[in-house]
Structure 1
Amino acid sequence: RVSPGTGSFIVIDRMTNVTVGAGMVHRMLESEPPYEYRTHDSKAEVVWNRSSVTPEMRAHIKGHAGKCIWFTGLSGAGKSSLANALEIELNRRGYHTMLLDGDNIRQGLCKDLAMSEADRTENIRRVGEVAKLFADAGIIVITAFISPFRSDRAVARELFTDGDFIEVHVDTPLAICEQRDPKGLYEKARQGKLKDFTGIDSPYEVPENPEIAVNTDVQNLEDIITRIVRMI
C-alpha cells in the first residue's frame, strides 16, 4: 500500500545529536525472515542484537579505547603479580581497568570446569569472550592465565582487532617457577598427587610471536610494567 500512515523517520548523528536526514516509509515489502527456525539447532534462533552505543562512543566517554592485556606463562612465572602491578599503575594514571585472574574465574564463571584439556580450552574460550565484552565497554582488561595451548590463545586473539590484544609471555624458566612453587602445586605434581599439571605432565606451548616477552627472574617488576604501559 502507499500511505503516509506507514510512518516516517529521521537520521541523527550519534556524536553531535544533529539531524542529518529524514524520510518516510513508502511501502511495506514482503521478504523472507532473516533466518530459518530449526528446532534441532538452537543457534538458528539466535540473532546478533547490535547496540546503538558503539565501542567508539564508550571509548570517547572514558578517554581511551578498550584493550586486552593477556599474560600467559607457567604457574609461578609471575603472571598474577605483574597483572596486579599493571592494574595499579594504569589505575593511578586514570585508566578504566578490570583484572581477570585464573583462580578467581575458576571460583565463579568456570567453577563447573575441571582441568582436562577440553575443560582448559573451554575455560580460555569463556575468558576470551568476557575480555572482549569488557574491551567493547572501553575498559582495559588484564588477564592472568597459564593458557598453555597456542590454539586457545589464538581463538582469544581473533576476537579483537589488530592492536587491541597484547600477549605478554611471562617467560620465567620452569626451574625458577618450580623453585618458587607459591601454591605447592609443583610438589604435588611431582608426587603424582596432581595430574595434567602444566610443565610437568602436560605441555606448555610457548607463544611464537608475543607482543612482549619478559622474565621475572632477571627483570624487575617496575621495568616490565613500564615497558607494557608504553605499548598500551
Structure 2
Amino acid sequence: MSCSHTSSQQNSQIQNSNQQELIVLAHGLGRSDTAMWWLEQQLEKAGYQVCSLDYDTIGESVDSVFGSTSEQIDQCLTAQASTVHFVGHSLGGLVIRSYLQAHQQLLASDRFGAVVLMGTPNKGSEVADYYQGTWLMSLGGEISQSLVTNAQGLSQQLEDIDINAGVIAGTKGNTFTKSLFTSENDGLVSVESTKLKHMSDFITIDVGHAIMRYSSIVAEQTIHYLRHGKFMH
C-alpha cells in the first residue's frame, strides 16, 4: 500500500477544496499498486491525496483478498482528510463494494464522498465463464474463479447498495475474446455487466479493459465525477 500527497508547488496550483480529500485507489486482478501509477499521478495533480492499495490476487481466496484490502483501507482512512472517495479498476471495484457494504457507518457519515468504478464486472465476466473449470482458472485461484456471471459469482453475492457511484464502461473489444461476447465490451467485461441498479451516473468510453488505467479521458471523467457527482456528457 502506498499513500501519496501533492507537493507544495502543486498545492499552490489547485483548489483548496481538494487538498483535504482522500482517494482510496484499488487495482484489478493479477496487478499491484504499480499498475495504477499513471492514474494515481493524475489524481494527485488534481489535488487529491491518494492511498493506493496493494494486494495479491492470483491463487488467493476471496476471504484473503477482502481481508487484506479491508485492513489496508482501514489504514488509509486514518489519514487527515475531510472527505474520502473510492476509485476502483476491474476487481478493485468489487473490493470497494465489499468494503462499503461492511462499513455502513462510513456511508452514513459526512466524510463519505463518491465512488468511481472502471470496467468493474458488477455482473461477472463472460471471459471467466469461458475459462471456468480449466487449469488456467484453477491456477488463478478462488478469487479468479469467482468472477463468473452465474448466481454463484462473487459480484452476485454483493449487495447493490445505494451509494454515490459513477460507472465507466469500455467499448473497445479485443480480437482474442470478441467471440465470447454478444454485446459491447472492453475485451474482458461487457458494458451491461458494469452497470449497477443504484449507480448515480454511467458513461461509456472507447477504451480497452487494461488501457483504462492509462487513458486521459478516463482520468478526466473520474476527476469530474469526484468533483461534481456526474460525468461530462
Q: TM-score, normalised by structure 2?
A: 0.46
* Rg comparison, structure with higher value: 1
Q: TM-score, normalised by structure 1?
A: 0.46
Larger RCO: Structure 1 or Structure 2 (Cα < 8 Å, ≥ 6 residues apart)? 1
